[in-house]
Chain A
Amino acid sequence: MKKAQFMEIEGRSFGYLALLGILGAIILVALGAWYVMEHHGHYVTGMNNAIVWGTPHIFAIFLIVAASGALNVASISSVFNKTAYKPLARLSGLLAIALLAGGLMILVLDLGRPDRLIVAMTYYNFKSIFAWNIILYNGFFVIVAVYLWMMMQQSMNKYSKPVGIAAFLWRLILTTGTGSIFGFLVARDAFDAAIMAPMFIIMSFSFGLAIFLLVLMASYRWTGRPLGDALFQRLKNLLGVFVAAVLYFVLAYHLTNLYATEHHGIEAFILRDGGIYTQLFWIGQIVLGSLLPLLLFYHPSWGKKRSLVGLGAVLVIIGGLIQLYVLIIGGQAYPLEIFPGKEVIESSFFDGQVAQYTPSMWEVLLGLGGMAVALIMVALAVKILRFLPTSLADEDVDPHHSA
């Protein structure tokens, strides 16, 4: 096994420029969509008084959760001393920063008053988990940036392990914070569960690695650099374990809810009677987002085909977005239980009914814009700095490789 050589990509090909152009165009369109929502107000979106967090939040939370998960590959090498992952650590850190930036862009632009971001940064209510998240996000940027510096400057390499451990712990706290935004919600039937924090952590492992795998595949394919099968298979198997773990947490969450009579209403809504939410749960989250990727990853022959594994990773991402949609939008659509056992027969203001929500074009465009921001940051960074090893061929990275 050789010491990995890192090199910037050339970045002059038509394909590269086209990629930048497409991503840039998506970002411009997203900014336009944001302007429409900001200018007219909340009512041009699908959101209303009952569904206050809509599609932009789905994308934002997905990217933020995935950001902390994308750092895992670096953590595996620095914290758990797996040398095979060491060449991937820089890309892992870069992706973590980029995904968080994309997610936060959506989150901030989706605020009712993004112009008051300075208020959020200067007035902290420390009893609010939301305020803690603001600190955790900012801290994550700093700590991962320092981590990248330690990894990329040779004289600082010796500090990369302690900083890597700090980054690993920080990311666990960060995702605990993100999950707790929902775990601490006493008022809503679908939430108020301690399992939210660990479930979000395991979701981050899965979503982050799926994005990492796709970015890795794309960048090595498009630059013509070798990517070894052994390394690829390792990452794929790990992703499969994470997908299965998410499924396990989802199972535990629903079984616990099904046991308690007070949660039967929300469970019936999500699992059986919820219309679009039920369909999204079973078809989108369970079949397309979990079972099918597991089949693709672990099938004896399909699991060896990169295109099918890539498809599996794409499905994990789509399934993850759907999972958050069902959890967040479905959880809001289910009415508050204010008159237990009583059916509200009339309310001039739609209270006591399942809330209606249809995502507007503007919301979806803003969400896609956040994804494009994350990807363009990666595309630019790998051209400017040495993030990608020149070779990830098995003989170069696998300590157990026998040629």
Chain B
Amino acid sequence: MTQLALVIDLNVCVGCHACVTSCKQWNTSGAAGPLFDDNPYGKDPTGTFFNRVQTYEVGNYPNTETIHFPKSCLHCEDAPCVPVCPTGASYKRENDGIVLVDYDKCIGCKYCSWACPYGARELDEKEQVMTKCTLCVDRIYDESLPEAERKPACVMACPTNARLFGDVHDPDSEVSVAIREQGGYQLMPEWGTKPANHYLPRRKTKMHIHEDELVRVDNPLKKEDIRHKTTKDVTLDDWLL
């Protein structure tokens, strides 16, 4: 069974919110109509966003680092929002594993919002139905788009390529390889919800350089340590040495 998902590399995410704005742009222009905004240009803008970035700090000062954590619906394989829906408006597609809300069947009881442990449900405060990330289902199958663009808007927008998209059940897919080889993990796996989206952890990039690599054995200067007299004119050696 196919399970489409996002893999987000926290090592390269810089928290620029490009995924947030591109998501909003694509989905507010979609068939379901504009996503609600309250006071968008005011002091405390709020509204419906399918994708959000949170920033948290790990460690104690001065040994701290900041982590930017983009979060949208994780398209759980055992999604807790699906069984709680009284009308079955919240459902998981069998063919690609995307969790969706049928906006025409949703009665707006908001119980799924209680059930989601990740806070990924977004109430459209104007339409009064529950919404959430669709993995850009209206985009990824759109054959009028060039094949390279049949990806979620957030994936297309990410300037650092922190977001990968693909089938996490296909062991040879780009996302599966990334999860396998770079320590991809799920958010709060202890809930047992089996989130399909994965995160690649922060990784320290370290190089081990031995001293003899700095002082080369075959360094001609080391042997003789004689610098030839140079002219007073500026030569290329002045810059190199």
Please, which residues of chain B bring their CB within 8 A of the CB of A345?
A: 55-57, 66
- Contact of A42 with B119 in the complex, beta carbons under 8 Å: no
Q: How far in angstroms is the closest Cβ of chain A from B215?
A: 44
Q: Is the CB of A112 within 8 A of B105?
A: no
- Let me know if A347 is at the binding interface, CB within 8 A: yes
B191 near A187: Cβ-Cβ < 8 Å: yes
Contact of A125 with B107 at beta-carbon distance under 8 Å, contacts A41-B127, A343-B56, A345-B56 already known: no
- A125 contacts B87, C-beta separation under 8 Å: yes
**Contact of B55 with A346 in the complex, beta carbons under 8 Å:** yes
B164 cross-chain contacts in A, Cβ below 8 A: none
Cα A148 to Cα B68 in complex, Å, equals: 62
Contact A187 B83 (CB under 8 A): no
Within the assembled complex, what's the spacing in Å between the Cα atoms of A113 and B53?
30
B residues 44-86 near A (Cβ < 8 Å) are 46, 48-49, 52-58, 66, 69, 71, 80, 83-86
CB distance from A260 to the nearest CB of B (A): 14
Docked complex: B178-222 residues within 8 A CB-CB of A: 187-188, 191
State whether the Cβ of A149 lies closer than 8 Å to any Cβ in chain B.
no
Is A402 positioned at the interface, with any CB of B under 8 Å from its CB? Answer: no
Chain A at the B interface: SS class:
loop
Query: Which of the 9-residue segments A15-23, A48-56, A283-291 touches chain B?
Result: A48-56
Interface centre among B48, B66, B109, B127 (most CB of A within 10 A): B109
Taking a contact as CB atoms closer than 8 A, the residue among A111, A131, A344, A349 that contacts B56 in the complex is A344
B2 at the A interface (CB under 8 A): no
For chain A, residues 77 to 122, give those with C-beta under 8 angstroms from any C-beta of chain B.
111-114, 116-117, 119-120
Question: Does the CB pair A112–B191 fall under 8 Å?
Answer: no
Q: Interface centre among A117, A188, A338, by most B CB within 10 Å?
A: A338
Residues from chain A with a CB closer than 8 A to the CB of B125 are: 41-43, 48-49
Whether, in the assembled complex, A403 has its beta carbon less than 8 Å from a beta carbon of chain B, the answer is no
Given A131-B87, A187-B117, A339-B69: A348 and B105 within 8 A (CB)?
Answer: no
A349 to B53, CA, bound (A): 8
Chain A residues with CB under 8 A of B115: 185-187
Residue numbers in A under 8 Å from B149 (CB-CB): none
Which residues 297-338 in A have Cβ within 8 Å of B in the complex? 332, 336, 338
Q: Which of B107, B118, B126 lies in contact with A116, CB distance below 8 A?
A: B107
- Taken together as a complex, chains A and B put the C-alpha atoms of A188 and B80 apart, in Å, by 12
